[in-house]
Amino acid sequence: MKSEDAGQQMEARWQAVLRKDGAQDGAFVYGVLTTGVYCRPGCASRTPRRENVRFFNSPAEAEAAGLRACKRCKPDACQGRAEAPDRMWALCRYLEEHADEAVTLEQLGERAGLSPHHLQRTFKRVVGVSPKQYAEHLRMERFKLSVKRNSKDVTGAIFDAGYSSLSRLYEKVDTRLGMTPMEYRGGGAGVEISYAAEMTPVGLMMVGATDRGLCFVQFGDDADTLLGELRKQYPKAEVHAMAKPAPAAFGEWMAGLNEYLAGQRPDLRLPVHVRATAFQLMVWNHLQRIPAGEVQSYQEVAQAIGQPRASRAVARACASNNVALAIPCHRVIRGTGEMGGYRWGVGRKRALLHLERSAGQ
């Protein structure tokens, strides 16, 4: 490693120690020469002086230098954490292969060499959802595929997907599906969507929502075109203009969007009511974790979700996003540093990033 790069790495590690960043536990340990002890970055002990600190890539390196493990944070207990991402993505493959079975946390923990509690925390940290949520999305995908193949036999599709009964499937329907099984088979028939359009600092915005969250947030040049797009995406839903006064929840969502676009709110955490594949879910969950105003390349996103060869699939997941801002696909750019594509215009993408950076100052 070049001396300049090494210096940057040490500074980054020191900053992690200063903020007691537990997310870096397992990536490295730091030793305190005056006490002869080495710790995790997230150790709650008193912060040492910088001149007394040395960094090591692993507990083994620290012990080889004559240091002993801190009894408070037990850094030697996270010796294998650097391999955690590979182990968690291997568990994802295992869940995909056994999607029709009820795999327990105990079984997964045994495969990963972790207690159920630590397996749950590690899996969610790496993948973005819990093992249970990941398994449910896999079952839901099997159900949707089965219904498409044989729309007349919903009951058979339920059992093929690994659900024990119709009621068990209905219990698992969440905002990621957005429709009950019968509604899904009917192309969304019976789902009510209310919409409203407003002029914003980045142009006309139309928002569509069900009673469970946002299902449509898009920009355009005129309301009729946007309404046509909304109806196209939900051809059998009951689409109507938002009543006045609007329901309290919808008013809060609109207020949040307007505050964000006015530069008064650097980030959004709004409920969405959309359908997604397991892969889209992983991508969109990761996008929501990118700090406002910051950007990542498609390749960086692919690596972050454990699919380093899936940069093109990441781009497709971004392009298929129907709820702008709430799922911030504008935070993904090309590896060259160029803005790249954005379905609502590169100029609007640049403006949104500028708003986020200004609001965060």
pLDDT-based confidence at residue 332 (cuts at 50, 70, 90): very high
pLDDT-based confidence at residue 205 (cuts at 50, 70, 90): very high
Mean pLDDT of 246-253: 85
Q: Which residue has the higher pLDDT, 304 or 48?
A: 48
Fold agreement between 83-172 and 187-361: yes
Architecture of the domain delimited by 187-361:
Orthogonal Bundle (1.10)
User: What CATH number should be reported for the domain whose range is 3-78?
Assistant: 3.40.10.10
For the chain, the C-alpha Rg in angstroms (whole number) is 24
Nearest to 335 by CA among 350, 320, 315: 315
Both tokens of 353, joined, read 């990033």
Highest mean pLDDT among 3-17, 81-95, 129-143, 344-358: 344-358
pLDDT-based confidence at residue 49 (cuts at 50, 70, 90): very high
Helix (H, G, I), strand (E, B) or coil at 241: strand
Of these residues, 73, 78, 92, 329, which one is catalytic? 329
Nearest to 33 by CA among 20, 17, 50: 50
Active site residue 92: no
Dihedral pair phi/psi, residue 313, rounded to 5°: -65, -35
Q: Which pLDDT score, from 0 to 100, does residue 330 have? A: 94
356 vs 124: CA distance, rounded Å: 27
Mean pLDDT of 257-263: 86
Architecture of the domain delimited by 83-172:
Orthogonal Bundle (1.10)
Q: Which pLDDT score, from 0 to 100, does residue 36 have? A: 93
The answer, yes or no, to whether residue 171 has pLDDT greater than 50, is no
Q: Which pLDDT score, from 0 to 100, does residue 142 have? A: 65
Q: Which pLDDT score, from 0 to 100, does residue 169 have? A: 41
Using one digit for the tens of pLDDT, what is the confidence trace for 18-47? 988 776 777 789 999 999 999 988 888 889
Q: How many angstroms separate the Cα of 119 from the Cα of each of 122, 171, 192?
A: 5, 25, 39
Active site residue 39: yes
218 vs 344: CA distance, rounded Å: 8
Using one digit for the tens of pLDDT, what is the confidence trace for 267-309? 777 888 776 666 787 888 888 888 888 899 999 998 888 788 8
Both tokens of 145, joined, read 């595929």
CB 334 within 8 A of CB 298: yes
**What is the pTM for the complete model shown?**
0.54
The answer, yes or no, to whether residue 76 has pLDDT greater than 50, is yes
Mean pLDDT of 244-266: 84
pLDDT-based confidence at residue 111 (cuts at 50, 70, 90): confident
Mean pLDDT of 336-345: 86
In a 13 Å sphere around the CA of 357, the CA atoms on its Cβ side amount to: 11
Mean pLDDT of 206-215: 86
Using one digit for the tens of pLDDT, what is the confidence trace for 123-164? 877 776 788 888 877 776 665 555 555 544 444 444 454 444
**Residue 100 neighbours by CB distance under 10 Å:** 13
38 sits in which H/E element: strand 37-39
The sign one gets for the Cα dihedral 181, 187, 191, 195 is positive
126 vs 304: CA distance, rounded Å: 8
Of these residues, 39, 43, 215, 318, which one is catalytic? 39
Cα-based angle 321, 323, 325 (whole degrees, multiple of 5): 105
- H-type alpha helices, the chain: 3-18, 59-64, 84-97, 105-112, 116-127, 131-149, 154-160, 166-172, 181-185, 223-233, 248-261, 278-289, 298-304, 311-319, 346-359
318 vs 298: CA distance, rounded Å: 9
Kindly list the domain boundaries of the chain, sorted by start residue: 3-78, 83-172, 187-361
Q: Which pLDDT score, from 0 to 100, does residue 348 have? A: 92
Mean pLDDT of all residues belonging to the chain? 79
